[in-house]
Chain A
Amino acid sequence: MKPDEIAALLGAQFGAKILESKPSPLSPWSVVDPAEILPVCRFLRDDERLRMDHLECLAGVDYKDRIEVVYVLYSMTHRHRYALKCLLPRESARLNSVESIWGAANWHEREAYDLLGIVFEGHSDLRRILLPDDWEGHPLRRDYKFPTSYRDMPV
């Protein structure tokens, strides 16, 4: 399916829950209401025409005024790609986990939590993954202050 067809299908199914769509050929995406991420993802995976069975990449980006979570999806069946975005406020970056839809989301979400402090509700095991368990702060936040020491060791 072409990106604009996917965007039209999403718009027809979810209406106002799809806040914005930009089906450009370079990197097509749609912005989804964070409260609706689970139904939208389930539709993308289960619909016969879409079958987005492969979560390629889950990236968090801190834009200083908001946090974006980007889901890059791919269909192994139909060989097409699409991306979803959720815009979250920086102070309370929370949204539902999609771990129940794609197993790959488990570790990707842990990484986004670890480095950006995005909380995924309903995640089975939301712990830090790359940094030590007692690390403070989330380094990929734009206002992150580099620590001078870790457990009394100079960094």
Chain B
Amino acid sequence: MEAEYTGDVMTLNMGPQHPSTHGVLRLELKTDGEVVAEAIPHIGYLHRCFEKHAENIEYPGVVPFTDRMDYCAAMNMELGYVLAVEKLMGIEVNNRVRCIRIIMAELNRIASHLIAAGTYGNDMGSFTPFLWCFRDRETILDIFEETCGARLLYNYNWIGGLMCDVLPGFEKRVIDFIDYFEPQVDNLNKLLSDNYIFIKRTANVGIMPPELAINYGVTGPNLRGSGIKFDVRKDEPYLGYEEYDFDVAIGRGEHGPIGSCWDRYMVRIREVKESCKIVRQAVAKMTPGDVQESIPKRIKPAAGEVYHRTECPRGELGYYIVSDGSLKPYRVKVKSPCFTVMGAFRKISRGAMIADIIAILGSVDVVLGEIDR
């Protein structure tokens, strides 16, 4: 670790191997005593040239690469890509595919938020919620595993359909899990969310005012934590989300100014409950059908371009795809939600204490694989 002394300001490197940077992120802290005058994020340690790779692979081959961006929510990453290509080609999928996609995306959202909440508790010094969250997430991964064979990186959403249909008894397993899981959320609230120490550590820290959030392009739970009711599933629905009855969870500032770390954390907990509601409705809407009937023989979109965005657990994931009429995409640009929120990190962490940097970083819930791509 390099440190240089310039007057009263000391430069301190946090990361890239610091456990609470949630991956390989380096924060260059300019510290004045315990106060952080500036926290400058340095990213790129996990850069795997996704956009360059995508130029050299045919459209269906890009899907497994998208999995590897946000490995905590791979279903949502694939979903964004396949929906963008389907929009470019004008493919309509049947009701069964739509319902299964929604169930998978929402289950993955729950799993992802469980990681966010569990590791955040761990960062704040509370270990048991971490174990509880990972225990419940395990059931979701089991459901994914029996459906597509993989626990983390699925390649399940294909352009025009799905890799395979779900197994018989899938609906019952999902509903059983939701029945079991919904009361667990309240238990987690009792243990962590309403915990006095946890609130003290997070409620007055890392305030993100709504104007700053919009100006810096922050999306998803971080934006809603600042009290802005915006959700792509409601405001620009895809896959028929407009037919589902659910609320958009926002931060309400119960324990301090709105837009604090606690608000951002709490939005995720509230969203998990909404996801349970969506999953129940999607299971009820499922109809028989062939999940591969719309998969084109040749995936070769006409020349053109498309921008499509979906609501991922970490915010709004956008794909800007340019086609030149060949079998390979000419350009795939990913607008990553974690990337934009990391751009705002320097603003919201200015003047915080060193220990609060951990609280702020955990509350924005970034996955470095998606930032660096």
Binding site for B on A (CB under 8 A): 26-27, 53-57, 59-62, 70, 72, 76, 79, 81, 83, 102-104, 106-108, 111, 115, 128-132, 139-140
Whether the Cβ atoms of A72 and B43 lie closer than 8 Å is no
Known: A27-B305, A107-B342. A140 touches B217 (CB 8 A): no
Whether the Cβ atoms of A59 and B49 lie closer than 8 Å is no
| Residues in B whose Cβ lies below 8 Å from that of A130 | 43-44, 47, 372-373
| Residues in B whose Cβ lies below 8 Å from that of A140 | 51-52, 55, 331
Q: Mark B339-373, 1 if CB is under 8 A from A, else 0.
A: 11011100100000000000000000000000011
State the CA gap A140–B47 with chains docked (Å): 14
Q: Mark B183-211, 1 if CB is under 8 A from A, else 0.
A: 00000000000000000000000000000
State the CA gap A55–B216 with chains docked (Å): 8
| Residues in A whose Cβ lies below 8 Å from that of B340 | 104, 107-108
Whole-angstrom distance from the CB of A106 to the nearest CB of chain B? Answer: 6
Which of B2-10, B135-143, B315-323 binds A?
B315-323
Whether the Cβ atoms of B228 and A76 lie closer than 8 Å is yes
| Residues in A whose Cβ lies below 8 Å from that of B151 | none
| Residues in A whose Cβ lies below 8 Å from that of B216 | 102-104
Q: Give the number of A-B contacts (CB < 8 Å).
A: 89
* Chain A residue at minimal CB-CB distance from B373: A130
Binding site for A on B (CB under 8 A): 43-44, 47, 49, 51-52, 55, 87-88, 212, 214-217, 228, 230, 235-236, 304-307, 309, 316, 318, 320, 322, 330-331, 333, 335, 339-340, 342-344, 347, 372-373
Whether the Cβ atoms of B230 and A76 lie closer than 8 Å is yes
Cross-chain contact of A76 among B51, B214, B331 (Cβ < 8 A): B214
Whether the Cβ atoms of B307 and A83 lie closer than 8 Å is yes
| Residues in A whose Cβ lies below 8 Å from that of B49 | 139
Known: A61-B331, A70-B320. A104 touches B309 (CB 8 A): no
Whether the Cβ atoms of A104 and B43 lie closer than 8 Å is no
Q: Which 4 A-B pairs have the closest CB atoms?
A: A104-B217, A107-B343, A59-B333, A57-B335
| Residues in B whose Cβ lies below 8 Å from that of A60 | 333
| Residues in A whose Cβ lies below 8 Å from that of B372 | 130
State the CA gap A111–B44 with chains docked (Å): 11
